[in-house]
Amino acid sequence: MSAFFYLNDFGIVLVINMLLKRLEINGFKSFAKPAVLEFPTKITAIVGPNGSGKSNVADSLRWVLGEQSMKSLRGKKGEDLIFGGSQQVARMGKASASLVFDNKKKVFPVEFDEVIISRRIYRDGVNEYLLNESHVRLKDIIELLSKVGLGASQHHIIAQGDADRILYASPKERKSMIEEALGLKIFELKKTEAERKLAGTDENIKQVESLRREIQPHLKYLDQQAQKMKNAFELRKELEALTEEYVAREMKTLANEEAGIKKEKSPLADKLKVLEAALREAENLLDKESGASSAQIFFDAQKKLDASLGELVLRRRETERNIVKMEAAAERPTGAVEDSFPKEKIKTALLDLVKDLESASSSGTMEVVRNTIFSATQKIYKFLESLGDVKFFKDKEGVAGQLKQKKEEILKMDKEEEEFKKKKRALEIDYSEKAERVAKEGALFRQKTEEIARTRDELRNTASREEKFVMQKKEFELDFAGWQEKSHAGGENLSEAERIQMRKKIERLKIRLEEAGGVDENVIKEYDETKKRDEFLAKELEDLKKAAGSLSSVFEDLAERIEKDFDLGLEKINKLFGEFFHEIFGGGKAEIKLMKPQKPARGGSAFGGKNNDEEDEGWESELEEEEEGIEIIVDIPRKRIKSLNMLSGGERALTSIALLFAMSTVNPPPFLVLDETDAALDEANSNRYASMLRELGKKTQLVVVTHNRETMKAADVLYGVTMGNDGVSKLLSIKFEEAEEVLTKGK
């Protein structure tokens, strides 16, 4: 593989390797049999008479590089590219062609040292593309070729009759061809790809935003449900914590209260037993002091005694009156009285009465005293009553004596009565003392009774508290069944106010929890899925927007670079175009320039000159479309040109060659194929053309299809193409002298 160096018009030193090694053809058009063309040198010429099939070589090159236009391949349908057969040779079922490139310098960005690009077509119209025998897409081939300057427009392959194609192309097409010639196609492809991706990204952004808008209402509803669930969860959590605290404190409080009740109840019961025993003892003592009668009986007896004494006094007075009467009746006999009522008898009765009273008083039995007094009173009453019935049987003197004696006896009875009263007072004092003792014992009894009552009240209160505690405990166990196992008694004791407050708070939390309502777990699951979906879409949207920003930046950078490189390259091409044009035509001017969308401008010189016969006249500004593109302006010596259509065939060919050579010189393609672009040249122009080929061959690999002697002289290797009676093209490697012979035979 040979290589050479040159400084391109961008000021960059390039190393040009002879990339194209060979072309392999089989079944393509007239090449029914396998044919191989080696390209070992800078310029390779393919010669042959008209109709021999030499242009099919250029067509195969164009075809294998991805050409899709059947018109450019000089056919109507894909089947036309397959050998159709002849009388001697049967038609082929498929056609194939392969281009082999040397890639030891890794010009192609693949790992292979040799890159083989192949294409096949079958009679059913199916195409296959292969890269080193591996099936790939056409897109992959085009992208790979664009990276080495072999773009889809194939400006580097000038087919027969297409030398002036660039002249008749639209301004936009010319611009595209020049961009490709400048090696900007790869950036155009990247820009187009970035634009396509950006458009796709924008569409994806719209779709994602649309999806988010669609799910937002449902997500909002699900979010509300999830929030309810969250609120319910928080309420339940708060309720559980509060309940657990309450249960722990209540358990401790109840346990302490139960222990307190037991602690209070046991001493009270013992105290009650002691008090009841003391009460029984006091009751026995009181019974002993008061006997069988009550204080009221004593008072009744005393009242009767007083009444009896009063009656006794009255009777004594009556006796005194009787004595007075007896004194008046002194003269009456008194013996009967003395006989009937002797003094000793009365004295004895009174003494018996006193003794009975003393005996009754000493015995301490109030009933005995009462009976004794009653008995004495009856005796006195009977005695006094009997006085009225006494018969006086004494004489006067006897009665007087008796009266005196009676008076003395009355006095004595008074003394005895006084003594009786003393005894009565003593009895009353003794009674008072006993009554006082009874009162004290009664007070003690009442005290014990009251203390017992208080103790019993305390016991009842304790029992009531115990009953209330039992009910409270049962209620607690019923209301908080299961919580006791989860909780352990602890914390501070609950006061009643705290208990009420905590129970109310628990009930309020339960009500709020009920009001929150239950949420279906499937709804929560759906919310989680929808939320994740929305978050995924949000993340995807964010990524898409970042990607869109990145793509937009890439697009802008590529557009800026393309514009900058295009402007610089266009300036270089324009300069060389003018030089080549001047050299070929021996004068004149040629120019290409970028035109912006505008209305067509008619008349006048494009260079701003006057309409005269001078060399700088005759220019035409050609604006065929209102779009950005390349405008070509030419001025041929001694000829006024108003339109490119006014150029002759040779002039069009030379103008195209000048522009193509300028493009190829500024940014040489890996190889350049020229198919009979020199056909319309005269001898003088052929010499100039050959000279230009040699200069261009220093910068790029050239494959020329020609039957021009000067062109053949410029070639390093010559291939001859012939066709026999079988209609099959044959390929021969020949020398220059043999080439003339081949051409002569063809003629």
pLDDT 10s digits, 138-191: 999 988 887 887 766 566 788 766 667 788 888 988 888 888 888 787 788 788
Check pLDDT > 80 for residue 490.
no
Supply the pLDDT for residue 219. Answer: 84
**Average confidence (pLDDT) over 106-133:** 93
Check pLDDT > 60 for residue 471.
yes
Check pLDDT > 90 for residue 556.
yes
Confidence label for 617 from pLDDT (cuts 50, 70 and 90): very low
723/50 Cα distance (integer angstroms):
10
521/432 Cα distance (integer angstroms):
94
Please give the residue that has the higher pLDDT: either 293 or 272: 272
Please give, one letter per residue, the 3-state secondary structure of 387-423: HCCCCCCCCHHHHHHHHHHHHHHHHHHHHHHHHHHHH
Confidence label for 624 from pLDDT (cuts 50, 70 and 90): very low
Supply the pLDDT for residue 665. Answer: 86
Supply the pLDDT for residue 394. Answer: 46
Average pLDDT taken over every residue of the chain: 78
Supply the pLDDT for residue 331. Answer: 53
Confidence label for 606 from pLDDT (cuts 50, 70 and 90): very low
Q: What angle (nearest 5°) sits at the alpha carbon of residue 634, between those of residues 629 and 636?
A: 170
Residue/partner pairs of 132-140 with CB below 8 Å, 24 or more apart: 138/66
Please give the residue that has the higher pLDDT: either 310 or 605: 310
- Residues constituting the chain: 747
Supply the pLDDT for residue 728. Answer: 92
**Average confidence (pLDDT) over 111-128:** 94
Q: Which residues contact 182 (CB under 8 A, 6 or more apart)?
A: 565, 566, 569, 570, 573, 663, 666, 667
- CA 363 → CA 286, 304, 306, 367, 389, distances in Å? 18, 19, 20, 10, 38
577/630 Cα distance (integer angstroms):
13
Q: What angle (nearest 5°) sits at the alpha carbon of residue 681, between those of residues 678 and 682?
A: 145
Please give, one letter per residue, the 3-state secondary structure of 271-302: HHHHHHHHHHHHHHHHHHHHCCCCHHHHHHHH
Check pLDDT > 60 for residue 625.
no
Query: Which of 81-85, 88-92, 137-141, 269-273 bottoms out in mean pLDDT, i.e. has the lowest?
Result: 269-273
Supply the pLDDT for residue 399. Answer: 61
438/454 Cα distance (integer angstroms):
23
Supply the pLDDT for residue 740. Answer: 61
Supply the pLDDT for residue 620. Answer: 40
**Average confidence (pLDDT) over 482-508:** 75
Contact, 88 vs 32, CB < 8 A?
A: no
121/119 Cα distance (integer angstroms):
7
Contact, 593 vs 633, CB < 8 A?
A: yes
Please give the residue that has the higher pLDDT: either 190 or 543: 543
Percent of the chain's residues with pLDDT above 90:
20
Contact, 58 vs 159, CB < 8 A?
A: yes
99/149 Cα distance (integer angstroms):
15
Check pLDDT > 80 for residue 348.
no
Check pLDDT > 90 for residue 207.
yes
Please give the radius of gyration of the chain, using alpha carbons only, rounded to the nearest integer. 77
Per-residue DSSP letter, 604: S
544/198 Cα distance (integer angstroms):
9
655/711 Cα distance (integer angstroms):
18
Supply the pLDDT for residue 612. Answer: 41
Supply the pLDDT for residue 151. Answer: 64
Check pLDDT > 80 for residue 550.
yes
Please give the residue that has the higher pLDDT: either 112 or 164: 112
Supply the pLDDT for residue 95. Answer: 95
Supply the pLDDT for residue 613. Answer: 41
Please give the residue that has the higher pLDDT: either 3 or 440: 440
Q: Per residue in 21-49, pLDDT tens?
A: 999 999 999 999 999 999 988 899 999 88
Supply the pLDDT for residue 18. Answer: 52
Model pTM greater than 0.75? no
Please give the residue that has the higher pLDDT: either 34 or 467: 34
Please give the residue that has the higher pLDDT: either 326 or 206: 206
Supply the pLDDT for residue 610. Answer: 40
Please give the residue that has the higher pLDDT: either 77 or 256: 77
- CA 241 → CA 235, 502, 538, distances in Å? 10, 12, 38
Confidence label for 314 from pLDDT (cuts 50, 70 and 90): confident
Check pLDDT > 80 for residue 622.
no
724/728 Cα distance (integer angstroms):
6
Confidence label for 393 from pLDDT (cuts 50, 70 and 90): very low
Supply the pLDDT for residue 6. Answer: 38
Check pLDDT > 80 for residue 255.
no
Whose CA is closest to 166, among 582, 631, 601?
Answer: 631
With 0-12 / 13-18 / 19 or more C-beta atoms within 10 angstroms meaning exposed / middle / buried, residue 336 is middle
**Average confidence (pLDDT) over 414-440:** 74
**Average confidence (pLDDT) over 672-699:** 86
Confidence label for 579 from pLDDT (cuts 50, 70 and 90): very high
Structural domains in the chain, CATH included, are: 1-156+669-681+701-717 (3.40.50.300), 294-434 (no CATH)
Half-sphere CA count of 597, side-chain side, radius 13 A: 2
Please give the residue that has the higher pLDDT: either 284 or 708: 708
Query: Which of 355-364, 459-468, 564-573 bottoms out in mean pLDDT, i.e. has the lowest?
Result: 355-364
Supply the pLDDT for residue 745. Answer: 57
Check pLDDT > 60 for residue 365.
no
Supply the pLDDT for residue 743. Answer: 59
Query: 365: alpha, beta or left, given left = phi > 0 and alpha = psi -120 to 50?
Result: beta
DSSP structure string for 201-216: HHHHHHHHHHHHHHHH
Greatest mean pLDDT among 152-161, 605-614, 620-629 lies in 152-161
Confidence label for 120 from pLDDT (cuts 50, 70 and 90): very high
Confidence label for 615 from pLDDT (cuts 50, 70 and 90): very low
Supply the pLDDT for residue 614. Answer: 41
Greatest mean pLDDT among 114-123, 264-273, 634-643, 690-699 lies in 114-123
